[in-house]
Structure 1
Amino acid sequence: MAGCFGSSMCRTWVIEEEEDEDDFHLIVDDDYLERDHAVGDARIRADYFGPNPVYSAFQFRRRFRMRVHVFERLVEAIEGADSYFKQKEDAIGRLGLSGLQKAFAAIRILAYGLSADVVDEYVRIGESTARKALHHFCRAIISVFGEYYLRAPNAEDVAGFSKLESNVDF
C-alpha cells in the first residue's frame, strides 16, 4: 500500500483494510430518515468556525484534541486528497454531507473513541456514513501525511527524544 513505510501501524492498516473492504455497502431501508444535512453543516460552522463562534478555541481544543487551525488544515488536506470529502448532490438534486461534516464526525469518533452512531444527532450523519467517513479520513491522512509522520525515526529524532527524556522527572 502506498504511504506505508514499514511501520507495524501500516501493516495493521492493510490487514484491516483487506478484511473490511466489503464492509461498506448500501443498506436500503424502507424508512428513509431525512437528516437535513444543511442544518448539521450550519450548526457546526456557527458553533466552531463562524465570526463569533459559540464555543471558544479552548473548548474546541479540549473537544477535538487539536487547535482550530490544525483541524482546518486537516479538512483542507483531505478534501484535496479524496473526492469522498467533496460535497455532492444526490440523484434528485439534494446536497449531501459537506466535507466538514464528514471530517468532523471522523475526528470526533477518533478523539473520543465513540461508536459511529453517536455523532448522528449533532452532525446529522448516519452510522454507516460515519464509518465510511472514518475509513476515508484515515486513508486520506495516511496518503497526505504518512510520508513524514509515519516514517521511522532518524538519528536527529532519537537525539531529540533522549533530550526530552532527560528533562522528565519520574
Structure 2
Amino acid sequence: MSTSSSSNEIILPPMLPDLSTGSSFLFFKDALAAVEELEDSGSSNDTRAYIERHREEAHEKLMRDYFAKPPKFGERFFRHRYRMSKRLFLKIVGDIEAQYLYFQQHTDSRNRQGFSLIQKCTSAIKQLSTGEPSENFDEYLCMADRTSRECLINFCDAVINIYGREFLRRPTSHDIAMIQQAHEARHHLPGMLGSLDCTHVEWRYCLRSLKRQYTRGDHKVPTIIIEAVASQDLWIWHSFFGPPGSNNDINVLNQSPCMTRWFTFVKAYPHPVDPKEKKFKRVQEAARKDIERVFGVLKGKWKILERRIRFYDLDKIGKVVEACCILHNMIIKDDGRAISPVHIMDQPTPIVYDPSVLPELHDENVHHRLRYDFTEHVSGLDLAYLDDPTFQPTPIEDLI
C-alpha cells in the first residue's frame, strides 16, 4: 500500500491457535473432570501429613527437669518459669485431675498413652506466662498447636470453676475489717477498701478492627479494657472485663457493677490550691499506686495480657483474663502476703430494703462532705513516711 494511504491502513492481530482441539484444551478438560470427581467423592489421595510426636519421651524429660528428686532445675528456676511455687502448681494439678475428665490421662485405640496431666497444665501455664503462640512449645512438650490451645481453654475453665468462688470473691465482713485495718495503718485513710483503675489488653485478631470500635487515639491497635479494684496487698477484689478500648474510664465505670456516683468513691481534687488539699491529694496518689502495681505485676507475670491476645472469640479472652486474676490471688496467698487469707463466709441474713439508702449513696453533697473530712484528717498527719526509702513498697520486679 502506498504511503499516502498508510494512515488509513488497519492492522489485524495474528490468528491465535485453536485450543478447542489442541492438547491444552484436553489437559484442562481432564483436570476439571478430576476436580469435579474429587468434590463428588469427598476424598483425596493427598492425606494430611502425620507427625510422630514422642510425647512419652517429652513427659519423661519434663519430669526429670522439674519434678524428679532431685530435679535438674531447682525451685528458683521453677518459680521463674511457672510463675508460682511447685507446691501451688501440684495442688492445682491435683484438684483439676480429680474434677475434670479432660485432664486425666487416657489410652487411645493403638493402646498408646495420651498426654499426661503435667504436660497439659504445663502447656497452659507456659502460654499464660509467656504469651507466645501455642505452636512454640511443640519442640519441648511434643504437643500440637490445636491440642495446646484446647489445654489452655480447658485449664482456664477449670481454674475459674474450682477457685473462682474463693479467690475472686466479694469481700465479706471479715475481709472488710481486715482490709480497713491494713489500709489505715499503711495509708492513714480510715475506711479505705481499695483503689480502682482500668487498663487495656491488646486484641490481635479483632473482627471489628476496621470499624475502629475497639481502637482509641492513644492506642493504635484494638484493645479491651479491664477494670479492677485492689487492696494494698495487691489482691484483686473485683474485676470487670469486656468494654471496647474506644471507651474512656468514665464510660467503663458507668457499665461496671461499681457505680461512679456513689459517695464512697472519693475522687481527687482536680486543681488543689489549699495546702490541705495538696496534702490530701499526695496521700491519695500514694494509695492509688496499689492498683497501678497490681496491673504491673499482673501483666509482668502473665505475659499473655501484655502482648496481643491471639483469640477471635471475646468469651475466650474473658476466661483467660479471669483465670489470670484468680491465679494472681492464689500466688499472693501462697506467698503469705494476703491481708485476709482465710475465707470466712457471712452468716445468711434476710434482705432488708431501705429506700432512703440509695438516694444518700448518690448524693453529691455527701461525697463532698466525706472528701472534706478526709482532707481535715490528713492535714494533721506527718507525711515524712512517703519520702522514707524503707517505707517504699516492694519493687514490681521482685513480685513477678
TM-score for the superposition, normalised by structure 2: 0.34
Q: Deviations over 1:92-150 (max 9, x none)?
A: 21111001100000011111112111111111111100000011101111111111012
Q: Displacement, 1:162?
A: 2.1
* Cα drift, residue 156 of structure 1: 3.7
- Quote the Cα distance in structure 1 between the aligned partners of 2:122 and 2:185: 32
Question: Secondary structure of 1:117's partner?
Answer: helix
Relative to structure 1, the CA distance from residue 104 to residue 156 in structure 2 (aligned partners, 3 Å threshold; closer, same or farther) is: farther
How far apart, CA to CA, are the structure 1 residues paired with 2:181 and 2:59? 41
> Does 1:111 find its partner at 2:129?
yes
- Aligned partners of 1:123, 1:160: CA distance in 2, in Å? 47
C-alpha distance in structure 2 between counterparts of 1:160 and 1:121, whole Å: 50
- Name 2:392's counterpart in structure 1: 169
CA RMSD of aligned residues (A): 2.0
**Identity percentage over the alignment?**
30
Q: Say if 2:115 is the partner of 1:97.
A: yes
Moved over 6 A (4+): none
Which structure 1 segments of 5+ residues have no match?
1-28
CA contact (8 A) 1:46 1:53 kept: yes
Q: Please, which moves more after superposition, 147-156 or 104-113?
A: 147-156
User: 1:81–1:143: 8 Å Cα contact kept in structure 2?
Assistant: no
- Which of 83, 90, 97 aligns to 1:65? It is 83
- Greater length-normalized contact order (CA 8 Å, ≥ 6 residues apart): 1
In structure 1, distance between residues paired with 2:168 and 2:128: 18
**Residue 141 of structure 1 aligns with which residue?**
159
Shift of 1:73: 0.7
Partner letter of residue 97 of structure 1?
F
Number of equivalent positions:
142
Question: Residue 3 of structure 1 corresponds to which residue in structure 2?
Answer: none
Structure 1 partner of 2:58: 40
CA drift of 1:157 comes to 5.6
Greater Cα radius of gyration, structure 1 or 2: 2
CA distance in 2, matches of 1:110, 1:164: 35
Partner of residue 70, structure 2: 52
Distance 1:158 1:80, change over 3 A: same
CA displacement at 1:91 relative to structure 2: 1.6
Structure in which a larger fraction of residues adopt strand: 2
Q: What is the deviation of 1:161?
A: 6.0
